[in-house]
Amino acid sequence: MTLRTPWRTLVLGAIIVALGFLPLAASAYVLSVLTVAYYFAVYAMSWDLLFGFAGEVNFGPTFLIGLGAYAAGLLNNEGVPLWLCVIAGGVAALAGGVLLAVPALRLRGPYFGLVTLVAVLVLQQIVVIFASVTGGEIGLSVADVLSIDPGPNYWYAYGFMLVCGAILVTLSRSALGLILQASGQDAVEAAALGFNVAKHKMAAFCISAVFSGLAGGMVVFYMGTVSVDSVLDIAVGVQVIIAAVLGGRRTIVGAAFGAVFLILADELLRPLGQLNTFLVAAVALVTILFFPDGFMGLLARPGART
C-alpha cells in the first residue's frame, strides 16, 4: 500500500494534466462529449456525498439540478450577468433543498427517498404549467453562453469539475466526512458519541444541493437552453444515480469516473441504436448486482488485503 500510493498519485496527476491539454489535440466532437460528461460528473459527485456518506438516497437529484438550471436561465433572461446567474443557481438549489429536506429528513427509511422523487415530478409540472415564463416543454433559450468554441467550453467544464471535485473530496475526508459516515451507518451510535445526526445530514444535503445547483447553472450556459428533458427528467436523475453507484459508493472520485464512463459509453455505442441504451443499462445492472462497491471497489480490492 505504501509503495503504491505515490505511484497512484503520480498517474492520477499525469492524467489530470494531460486531460487539460486535450483541446489542443482532440476534435470538437470529442470535446463536446467530454464537456457534458464533466458536468455530469459534478452531479454524480454531489449525489455521492449524500448517499455514500450521509446514507440518504436522493431519488430526485434533478430536483436540485433543475432548480439551479431554471433559476440561472430565468435570471439571465432578466439581464443578470452570467456568473451571478450560476451562483444564483447554487443558491436556488440550496433554498429549495432546505425547504424540502427540513420536513423530509424527519422521515425514516425509504420515505426520504420517496419525497425527493415526488419533488421532481412536482417541479416538472410547475415548469409545464407556467410555460409562459419557463418555456414549458419546449424549453427556454438563454441570452448568454459561456463560449461558442468547443475548446474554452471544455476548459470551463473541466476546471469546474476539478474545483468541485477537490472541494467535495476534501470535505469527504475531513472530520465532517467522518461524522457523516458514522451518522449514515449507525445513527444511534453516532448520536451516543454526541453528534447531532440531523444537523450533519442536513449539512450534507445542503452541500450536495449547492454543487448540483451550480452544475445545473453551468450546463444552461454551455447548451444555451434549459429544458425539462435536459435537467429535470427522472431519466437524467437515474443516470446520475447509476453513474455514482457504478463508480463506487462513498468515494466521490468514483462517481466522477462513473459519470464519464456512462457518457462515453453512451456515445461510443451510439451506432448500435436501441441496443446502446440496453447495453449500458445491462453493464450498470451487472456491476450493481455483483460489484456493489463499483469501479473504485474493484481497484481498491487488492490493496485492501495488505
Partner 1 sequence: MTAFSPRTDMLEAEPAVHLLPPRLDVSGLTKRFGGLVAVKDLSISIAPGEILGLIGPNGSGKSTAMKLIMGIEKPDAGVVRLDGTDLAGLPTHQIARAGIGIVFQHSRPLHRQTVLENIKLALLPDRLTRIFASRAIHDRAREIAERVGLGAVMQRRPGSLPFADLRRLELARAIARDPRVVLVDEPFAGLTAPELRSFSALIDDFRREGRAVLLVDHNVKGVSALVDRVVAMYLGEKIAEGSAGEVMRDPTVRRVYLGGSLETHVRDSAALQAAPVLLDVDAVSVFYGKAQALETVSLHVREGEFVSVVGLNGAGKSTLFNAISGLVRSTGAISWAGRNLAGLTPAAIARSGIVQCPETRELFGALSVQENLDLGGQHQPVSQTRDRLAWLFELFPILKSRRTQAARTLSGGEQQMLAIARALMMNPRLLILDEPTLGLAPVILEQLSLALGRLRETTPITVLLGEQNVTFALPHADRVYVLEQARIVWEGDPARFAAEAGAAYL
3-state helix, strand, coil in the chain (%, to 5): 80, 0, 20
Nearer to partner 1, 117 or 291 (CB): 291
Q: Write phi, then psi, for 226 (nearest 5 degrees).
A: -135, 130
Query: Which residues, listed in sequence order, are joined to residue 141 by a DSSP beta bridge?
Result: 225
Which of the residues 100 through 129 are near partner 1 (CB under 8 A)? Answer: none
Nearer to partner 1, 237 or 254 (CB): 254
Minimum CB distance to partner 1, residue 170 (Å):
8
Which residue from 105, 141, 292, 126 is spatially nearest to 226, judged by alpha carbons?
141
**Binding flag, residue 182, partner 1 (CB under 8 A):** yes
Site for partner 1 (CB under 8 A): which residue of 87, 115, 197, 256? Answer: 197
Minimum CB distance to partner 1, residue 303 (Å):
11
x/- track of binding to partner 1 for residues 150-169 (CB under 8 A): --------------------
Separation of alpha carbons 121 and 125, rounded Å? 6
**Binding flag, residue 5, partner 1 (CB under 8 A):** no
Q: Dihedral of CA 110/288/44/64: which sign? A: negative
Amino acid at residue number 101: A
Site for partner 1 (CB under 8 A): which residue of 9, 27, 147, 174? Answer: 174
Which of the residues 239 through 268 are near partner 1 (CB under 8 A)? Answer: 250
**Binding flag, residue 185, partner 1 (CB under 8 A):** yes
**Binding flag, residue 199, partner 1 (CB under 8 A):** yes
**Binding flag, residue 271, partner 1 (CB under 8 A):** no
**Binding flag, residue 8, partner 1 (CB under 8 A):** no
Which residue from 214, 221, 265 is spatially nearest to 239, judged by alpha carbons?
265
Name residue, grid cell 480490492: 301
